[in-house]
Structure 1
Amino acid sequence: MNHTELRTREWPVLKAAQDLDCDGVHPTTGKPCVLGHHHGYHRDTDGAQWLDS
């Protein structure tokens, strides 16, 4: 492999944690978290907060 081949390789696409979907669902209402991937409180579209148990 020469230097030109090394430079033409593509790097993986990285995403910010905030751009990833959170799979948390409010245990009472069933509404999904709208904050993205995070640590701490989840929040739904109505503003309700909850923590994973």
Structure 2
Amino acid sequence: MKREPLPGRLPAAPRRSVRDERGMSVSTLLAAVMPAFILVAGLAVDGAARLSA
């Protein structure tokens, strides 16, 4: 059964769930951290290759 809003009151606006907000921040964090991680991993591999040469 759908509840009707009381007369004279506007229905409540739908709220975003916490999971959506957290998911957005996690994806933003990954987008910021991944290039740095790839750069550090590349430098580590390059350094290991230079040491073994």
Q: Same fold (TM over 0.5)?
A: no
Greater percentage in helix: 2
Greater percentage in strand: 1
Report the TM-score when normalising by structure 1.
0.26
Report the TM-score when normalising by structure 2.
0.26
